[in-house]
Amino acid sequence: MRFFNPENLFKKEERKEPVKPAGFEKFQESLIKQIETNNNNKIEIEYTGYRRFEHLYGQKLKEAGKIEIINKQGEQDKKFDFSSLLPKNWRFCERVTKGQVLSAGLNLLTSHYSKEIWFPDSYFDLESGKKTETFSRPEDLLGLLHEIGHSFESKETITKRITIKEKMKAKIGKLAGIKTEDLPVELFTEKEKQDYYQYIICPERDAWAFALRKCREAKRQGIDIFPKQASSEEILKIVRHCLCSALDAGIGIMKDPLEDSETMKIQREAIKGSKKLKSCWGEFKNRVIAGIIDKLR
Ligand SMILES: [Zn+2]
C-alpha cells in the first residue's frame, strides 16, 4: 500500500531530477524490439536514466523517456509515439516484479502518486509459460494505451476508488470467512453497487475506450498495432480478459503483486474454497464486463 495511501496521494512533492549515477552516459541506451505482428513494427524504448526508490527495491530501475513504434515498411518510416500521449510531468518507469506470474492485463500499472506508468522489463506469460519481453506482443501495447488512459483520471475518482476497493475487499474477506452455505445472494448493497460502477467500472471502461481510440488513430497514421487480419472481436477478447483480471484483483480474488500480504493470501484461498461466493461474484462480474464490451463496440 506504499504508494496508494489516499492521504499521501496528492501531497505536493517536488519533482527531483533523477540522480545520475557514475557512468550515467554509458548507461543511456536505446532498446529496440521487434513486435511479433506481421506489420514490420519495431518498438523503441529510449531509457534515460535511473529512477529513485532504489533503496526500496534494492534494484536500479530505469526511466523511459520515450516509447515509440516505428514502422519501416514503405519509403518513409512511420512513427507512433506513446510518450506524447502522457499528461504533463508524467513518465514511464521500469517496475519491479520479482518474477511473479503476471497476465498481460496486470503487468502494467499507473501510479498517480508518482505520476508514472510502470512496466516490467519482462514478465512470465501464463499462456505460453515463458518469460516474455514487455511490449513484445500487441496486447501489451494496447495495455500501455489503457494505462495512459488511466493517467487522465480525476483526483476525486482516484481517492474514492481506493476507499471503495478497501471496503469491498474487507466485505469479501468477511464473507469468505463464513463456512456455512448462508451466504447472501447479492454481494453488494445498491449504494455499494452504484459506487463500484462510478469509481471502479467506469474508469476501466473509459481507459479502454481511450486505448481503442488511440489504436485507431495509430492505424490512421499508418501504424497497425495489431496484425492486419485481427478482427475487432479478437481485440475485444483481449479487453475482456484484462477487465476480468482487473476486477478480480480489485476485490482480492486475484493475486495482486503489489499487495500480497498474508491476509490477502488467506482471503484468496477462502474465496476459492467458497463455491457460492465465487459464483455470486462471477455472475456479477460477467454482467459488468458484458455491459462494458457492448459499449466499446
Ligand atoms: Zn485499468
Q: What is the pLDDT of residue 252?
A: 59
pLDDT tens-digit series, residues 23-52 = 444 445 667 777 767 788 888 888 877 666
Strands (E), the chain: 29-34, 41-50, 62-71, 78-81, 91-94, 109-111, 116-119, 122-125, 130-133
Distance CA 268, CA 278 (A): 11
Is residue 96's pLDDT more than 90?
Answer: no
Tell which wins on pLDDT, 123 or 56: 123
Q: Return the exposure string of 64-90: e unless at least 16 CB atoms fall within 10 Å of the residue's CB, then b.
A: bebbbbbbeeeeeebebebbebbeeeb
Distance CA 123, CA 34 (A): 17
Is residue 173's pLDDT more than 80?
Answer: no
Confidence of residue 137 (pLDDT cuts 50, 70, 90): confident
Average pLDDT, the chain: 76
Q: Count up the domains in the chain and report the number.
A: 1
Is residue 261's pLDDT more than 70?
Answer: no
Q: What is the pLDDT of residue 217?
A: 95
In a domain, 1, yes or no: no
Please give the distance, rounded to the nearest whole angstrom, from the Cα atom of residue 251 to the centre of ligand 1.
14
pLDDT tens-digit series, residues 244-255 = 878 877 665 555
Please give the distance, rounded to the nearest whole angstrom, from the Cα atom of residue 73 to the centre of ligand 1.
32
* Structural contact between residues 92 and 68, judged by C-beta atoms closer than 8 angstroms: no
In a domain, 197, yes or no: yes
Which range marks the domain in which residue 251 is found?
A: 6-296
Please give the distance, rounded to the nearest whole angstrom, from the Cα atom of residue 102 to the centre of ligand 1.
15
Strands 91-94 and 78-81, sheet pairing? unpaired
In a domain, 209, yes or no: yes
Confidence of residue 19 (pLDDT cuts 50, 70, 90): very low
Please give the distance, rounded to the nearest whole angstrom, from the Cα atom of residue 37 to the centre of ligand 1.
24
Report the residue count for the chain: 297
DSSP code per residue over 32-67: EEE-SSTT-EEEEEEEEEE-S-HHHHTS--EEEEEE
Please give the distance, rounded to the nearest whole angstrom, from the Cα atom of residue 81 to the centre of ligand 1.
21
In a domain, 189, yes or no: yes
Is residue 1's pLDDT more than 80?
Answer: no
Provide the CB-side half-sphere exposure for 110 (13 A, CA): 21
Is residue 13's pLDDT more than 60?
Answer: no
- DSSP three-state, residue 109: strand
Percent of the chain with pLDDT over 70: 68
pLDDT tens-digit series, residues 218-237 = 999 889 999 888 889 989 98
Please give the distance, rounded to the nearest whole angstrom, from the Cα atom of residue 128 to the centre of ligand 1.
23
Tell which wins on pLDDT, 82 or 73: 82
Cell of 233: 472481436
Distance CA 286, CA 290 (A): 6
Confidence of residue 22 (pLDDT cuts 50, 70, 90): very low
Q: What is the pLDDT of residue 15?
A: 47
In a domain, 177, yes or no: yes
Q: What is the pLDDT of residue 273?
A: 65
- Element containing residue 237 per DSSP (H, E): helix 232-251
In a domain, 152, yes or no: yes
Distance CA 90, CA 234 (A): 31
Please give the distance, rounded to the nearest whole angstrom, from the Cα atom of residue 27 to the centre of ligand 1.
32
Please give the distance, rounded to the nearest whole angstrom, from the Cα atom of residue 33 to the centre of ligand 1.
25
Cell of 112: 498517480
